[in-house]
Structure 1
Amino acid sequence: MTAALTPATTRPAPPSALAIGLARTGLELRLFVRDPAQVVFSFAYPIVMLVIFASVFAGEDRPGGVPFAQYFLAGIAATGIMLTSFQAVGTALAEERERGDLARLQVIGTPPLGYFLGKAGQVLVTTVLQLAVLLTVAATVYDVPMPDGVGRWLTFAWVVLLGAVAGTVLGIAVASAGSSRAVGNGISAFAVVLQFFSGVFFVFSELPSWMQEVAAVFPLKWLVQGMRSVFLPDAAAVAEPAGSWEHGTTALVLAAWVIIGLVVCARTFRWRRAA
């Protein structure tokens, strides 16, 4: 009698990088929520800064007669995006590599793209929630007018998206620069300096010209300017160095930094610490 042939078993296809990225996003969000210090810092820092500066400069107007709280909201919203993406991701990734978490992900076959998408997804969700809280406080406590019209909200959306993605990939890129302590200290110091150079706390056009030129190289200046175009009246654009909001240049610079960050990540990302 002829023996029955057993059909060969086939292994299921591995999940795509996108599927892994979506799963990683959920995991990254759970890890974020389980870290109370990070949650408090991410959501409280922008609000605390808004309260401090709006209280200190209460009654003072910026160019065009704009109340200080309204003018400052643009800068602090941009700073919140930078801290949630660039600073948080760069520091966290360096720590994960040092603990051996990334080495374990490599062993189970996690593709770098899936890991990157997970980080980006967590940053985008956190950023949206952070901005929602900040804008609610600004509108209810300081009577800051919210954007009127679909056009301003669309500008807000693409500025937030490009800024958050640029910050995420740049955070991943700089995480390979050294130990977790060195990376964390370096990012924090750089972020503080960049905030002053980029017009977060002051009227950008009133800064020394050399500061403006240095700031124009980095994405935060353009992120802040994009936010000003959303929250300030059109007449306030005359206070900008170019006399306009420069939406096209803002989009190009932020997109360029996304590309630069991706290229650096592709060349320098590693799962394990260098020997």
Structure 2
Amino acid sequence: MNPTATALRSGWQRGLIELRQSLTNGADLWNHAFWPVLMLVVTYFLRDVSFGQSGFSVGALALPSILGMNAAMAMVAMSQLLTAEREDGTLLRAKATPNGMLGYLVGKIVSVAGGLIVDLALFLIPGMFLVSGLVTGSLDSWLTLAWVLALGMVAALPIGAVLGSVFSSTRGQGLLMLPILGLIAISGIFYPITSLPVWSQWIAQVFPVYWLGLGMRSALLPDSAVVVEIGESWRHLETVGVLVAWAVVGLVLAPIVLRRMARRESGSSVAQRREKSLRRIG
């Protein structure tokens, strides 16, 4: 049997097992629920706040944007998991098996993507009843949401794998959150980007967070809401172009950096990191 096909199949099965475990574990369930509930509270307080003379509430504009933001944050989840499992020796064990790194990476993509879909459903389903003005009765809306989400995950997850290979310790992951939060602030997630300075609009359009939010808004908002967007257009072609570009970068870089990271892993390096962690605790 083809070793690559075997690794892909084992990775798929591993990812499904990890996803099932995360949905039946109390601590993981809390992690799944916390962020959607927090965002629902934020959306609730924004539901009656009008954006200028557009006729739309900030809550209605923010809800699909938050979906896009959460999809982009999958790269942070992937990065944190890779760093943690590098630190505890899981990656070293994967390296020791034939095509183990490929199976490991596929498993992580499956489990993180599945967890993301659960998180988005926990936010979107009650959000549809909480906020008025969304377009959820159209097949086109759901198809647009599906392709934006699928393309967004393909763009975000490999980048997350690249970031996870950069940090040797989970303590360093805090450095990642600061620029991510800054990027969210300028990407028009909680307030339309056209109300922000032009220089910040240009920076935001380089990264996938803005485009995922825009794609989700195009799926769930009526066409009249496009007046609050840059150029008064949903810019689907540009959305596809930017997300595909990030996906290509991630898919090219991820295998390279993961192989290099795996070559540097050894029993002694894992032991040293564990000893440092115990010294910090002590």
The TM-score bracket by the shorter chain reads 0.7 to 0.9
What is the TM-score of this pair, normalised by structure 2?
0.84
The one of 138, 147, 162 aligned to 1:158: 147
Partner of 2:116: 127
Render the CA deviation track for 1:110-136: whole Å, top value 9, x for unaligned.
Answer: 443322221221122222222222121
Partner of 1:5: none
Residue 53 of structure 1 deviates from its aligned partner by 4.2
Partner of 2:19: 29
Render the CA deviation track for 1:164-215: whole Å, top value 9, x for unaligned.
Answer: 2222111100112122235421222222111101111111111111111111
SS in 1 for 2:48: coil
Partner of 2:81: 92
Matches within 5 A, 1:73-222: 73-83=63-73, 85-143=74-132, 145-222=134-211
Render the CA deviation track for 1:133-153: whole Å, top value 9, x for unaligned.
Answer: 212111223345342322221
What is the TM-score of this pair, normalised by structure 1?
0.86
Contact 2:214 2:234 in 1 (8 A): yes
2:71 maps to amino acid: I
Q: CA RMSD in A?
A: 2.2
Matches within 5 A, 1:240-255: 240-255=229-244
| 1:229 is aligned to 2:223 | no
SS in 2 for 1:66: coil
| 1:50 is aligned to 2:22 | no
Count of residue pairs brought into register by the alignment: 262
In 2: Cα distance, 1:82 partner to 1:268 partner: 21
Residue 158 of structure 1 deviates from its aligned partner by 0.7
Q: 1:87 to 1:273 in 2, by over 3 A?
A: same
Render the CA deviation track for 1:95-115: whole Å, top value 9, x for unaligned.
Answer: 101111111011122443322
Structure 1 or 2, whichever has the larger Rg, is: 1
2:40 maps to amino acid: L
1:47 maps to amino acid: V
Structure 2, gaps ≥5 residues long: 270-282
Q: 1:16 to 1:96 in 2, by over 3 A?
A: same
Task: State which drifts further: 29-38 or 124-133.
Answer: 29-38
Of Structure 1 and Structure 2, which has the larger fraction of its residues in helix? 2
In 1: Cα distance, 2:21 partner to 2:249 partner: 28
